[in-house]
Amino acid sequence: MRKSKFKWTGRNTLDMVMITLGSAIYAFSLDMISIPNHLADGGLSGFTLIIRHFTGINPGISTFVLNIPLLIIGFKFLGKLAMLYTIWGTFCLSFFLSAWSYQTIIEQLPLHHDPFLAAVMAGSLSGLGLGLVFRYNGTTGGSDIVARVMQTARGVEPGNGLLLIDFLALACSLSYLDLYHVAYTMVSCVLLSTVLSKVVAGGTQAKGAFIISPKYKEITKMIDLELDRGFTFINSEGGYSNEEQHLIYLVINTKEIPLLKQIVRNEDPNAFMTIFDATEAIGEGFSYKAKKTSLFSRK
C-alpha cells in the first residue's frame, strides 16, 4: 500500500510563522537584555556567549556551526517534518541573533542598577519566545533538540529538560562571569522554564473535581442550574463498604470553585470532594464559546 504524500497546509504555514516569531523574541532577549547586562544563558546559547567573550565571534555564527552535529542527532529521533521545523528554527535564531546585534534602531537595555529586573525580563521574554517555538512543534536547535529528543524518547517535559541542560551551561559560564551574575542568570533560567511550560501547555487552564456523595443527583442538579457545567457519572465501589456509588467528575474555572463548594456543602455537608489542577481544558465553555446563560439561575 502506497503511503499518502505529505500535503502542506495552512497549519504548517502558521507553525513556520510562529517559530519565526518565537525565535525573534528569544534572540531579542539575548542581544538586548542578557548580553548588555552581563547575564549568561542556558543551553547552547550559553556556550555561544562563552565563545563570544573569549573570541569575539558573533553568537549567530557560532549557533549555526554548533548546531550541525545536533541536527544530525535529531534526524535519528525526530520525524521529517519536525526536522524541517528544527532547521528553520535554527536558521531563524542564527539570523535574528545577528540581525538584532547589528541593527541601530532599537537600543539595548542595560539595567546594571537592577540586575534582578534584568533577569526577570530576560527569563520572561526567552520563555515566551522558546514557548512559542515549542508550542508550534519546532525548536531553535541546540539544547532545544536535546530537550525535544528527551520529550519524544522519555516523555520529559521540555521545560524540565531545558532546565537540566541550562545548569551545565551556567557552570561553564563561571569561566568568565562572577558568581553574582551567574546567580541572577539562574533566576532567569528558572523563570524561562516556568514561562516556557505555561506557553507550551496553552489552552485554558482549569480545575477538575471529583465528588462522592449519596446525594449525587441533587448536587448535579444544582451544578447544572448554578454553574451550567457538564458533568460525568463514574460508576465506582466503596473501598471499605464495597457499596456501589456514583462519582461525579466535572471541570470548572478557578473562579467557580467557591460556588461549587457552596453547592456541595448545601446539598450534602458530608460529601467527599477533591479538586485538582487540569493543565488544559478543551471543549465547550473553555476552548470555544460556551452556551449563553441568563443572569438568573434556570428553574
Asked, for residue 145, whether it belongs to a domain, the answer is: yes
User: Are 150 and 242 within one domain?
Assistant: no
| Domain count of the fold of the chain | 2
- At residue 206, φ and ψ (nearest 5 deg) are -145, -175
Same domain, 67 and 51: yes
Q: Which residues have CB under 8 Å from 107's CB, separation 6+? A: none
Give the Cα separation of 16 and 6 in Å (integer): 16
Whether residue 292 is contained in a domain is answered as no
Structural domain boundaries enclosing 21: 10-201
Last residue of a domain, one of 201, 219, 238: 201
- Tell which of 168, 201, 234 closes a domain: 201
Q: Give the pLDDT confidence of 212-268 residue by residue, as tens digits.
A: 999 999 999 999 888 888 889 988 887 777 788 889 999 988 778 889 999 999 999
Q: Which of 201, 231, 246 is the last residue of a domain?
A: 201
Report the predicted TM-score, pTM, of the whole model to 2 decimal places: 0.72
The mean per-residue pLDDT over the stretch 52-60 comes to 91
Whether residue 181 sits in one domain with residue 81? yes
pLDDT band with cut points at 50, 70 and 90 for residue 294: very low
The verdict on residue 288 lying in a domain is no
Residue type at 150? M
- Give the per-residue pLDDT at 148: 66
Domain match, 38 and 128 both: yes
pLDDT in tens, 68-115: 888 887 777 667 787 888 889 999 999 999 999 888 888 888 887 899
Instruction: Give residues with Cβ within 8 angstroms of 44, minimum separation 6.
Output: 63, 66, 67, 70, 141, 142, 143, 169
Res. 281 pLDDT band, cuts 50 70 90: low
